[in-house]
Amino acid sequence: MTCPKCAHANPKRFGTYGARKIQRYRCRDCGATFSPAQPKPLGRHTTPVEDASRAMLLLCEGMSVRSVSRMTGLHKNTILRLTRTLGDKAANVFNATVRNVSACQVECDEVWAFCGSKMKNVPPDKRGVWGDVWTWTAIDAETKLIVSYRVGPRSPRLAYDLMIDLASRLSTRIQLTTDGLYWYPHAVERAFGIDVDYAVLAKRYAETPQGRYSPPRLISTTKEVIRGNPDPAHISTSFVERQNLTMRMCLRRFTRLTNGFSKSMAHHAAMVSFYFAFYNFCRVHQTLRVTPAMEAGIADHVWSVAELVQAA
Ligand SMILES: [Zn+2]
């Protein structure tokens, strides 16, 4: 320990400060007081790791930012800033660890949410900033691992991004099922070439919904083989649809007909990133009894949220 002012060694202990009782020192030569640099596990944030982890866990259990604020005593803006930083960190963890996945049956789908306002109500000055935002996911039906995801508009660009990212994370040939969205077949061809067994499961819904609060009635489903030789028994989007429901229940931002929706695209994307890392590494799957990452062989234990927020 040397004095930061005069570099004199061997300072005198000079009490502590703060709730965490950080040791303070005084230089015997120039009289300057100082304390050793504290580790900053969360970068620029000074929130203790336990508090930040608890807030993130509550956000992943369906609570709104304001209710998390009331429960943890953290300020709303602190929680939002943490979401941004930790969401980006979690995206890095996901990126680095979800690699060489040996999946068998992968299912893809998109789930809708909105930011600020629904597309038809976006005021002119918020065009391009607010509106509909889709979460694109690819899930392995066997291990329930989220292999790839994208957040953005419902556009061919995102379909390509998802497929190319998915292909880059796999180590085995897969059977792939997507919904009937017409950009998928071309995107799959570009990303996988002939190295895939690919089928589309198109669902047709009744034109007029029976009511605002119930989903439209399913009329028929058609299975169409696009490429390779997919096993008909596994042409399904059930698991990815179930995952979409789980996400709707776990992230308050996705709850329809409430005002818990996202107010900023960046926070929305960060929260989705955090949720997927949390889902893969921290959340014990009810039917698997382990986390999806353990089932897929890319993690050897259940990660705590504290571990996730400090990783990467
Ligand atoms: Zn000094």
Q: What is the pLDDT of residues 124-166, one digit of tens each?
A: 887 777 888 889 999 999 999 999 999 988 899 999 999 999 9
Q: Quick check: helix, strand or coil at residue 202?
A: strand
Q: What is the CA(10)–ligand 1 centre distance, in A?
A: 10
Q: 91-116, pLDDT tens digit by residue?
A: 999 999 999 999 999 999 998 888 87
pLDDT score recorded for residue 20: 79
- Predicted TM-score (pTM) of this structure: 0.86
- Confidence at residue 208, expressed as pLDDT on a 0 to 100 scale: 64
The rounded Å distance from CA 2 to ligand 1 centre is 8
Question: What is the extent of the structural domain holding 28?
Answer: 1-38
Residues 1 and 79 in one domain: no
List all residues 6 or more positions away from 212 whose beta carbon is below 8 Å from its beta carbon: none
Task: Give the Å distance between the CA of 35 and the centre of ligand 1.
Answer: 12
| Distance in Å, CA 63 to ligand 1 centroid | 50
Residues 184 and 263 in one domain: yes
Domains in the chain, number: 2
In this structure, are 18 and 134 located in the same domain?
no
Token reading at 221:
């489903």
- Strands (E) in the chain, as ranges, are 12-17, 22-26, 33-34, 105-115, 131-140, 146-152, 175-178, 197-205, 218-227
The reported pLDDT for the residue numbered 255 is 77
Question: What distance in angstroms lies between residue 46's CA and the mean position of ligand 1's atoms?
Answer: 27
In the reported structure, the alpha carbon of residue 1 is separated from the centroid of ligand 1 by a whole-number distance in angstroms of 11
Structure tokens at 279: 């889902």
pLDDT below 70 — which residues of the chain? 208-213, 257, 312
Give domain status of residue 73, yes or no. yes
For ligand 1, the distance from its centroid to the CA atom of residue 12, given in whole angstroms, is: 11
101 belongs to a structural domain:
yes
Task: Give CA 164 to chain center in angstroms.
Answer: 18
Report yes or no on 301 lying in a domain.
yes
Q: Say how many Å lie between the CA of residue 6 and the centre of ligand 1.
A: 4
108 assigned to some structural domain: yes
pLDDT at 212: 63
Model pLDDT, residue 209: 57
pLDDT in tens, 39-58: 888 888 888 899 999 999 99
Q: Give domain status of residue 117, yes or no.
A: yes
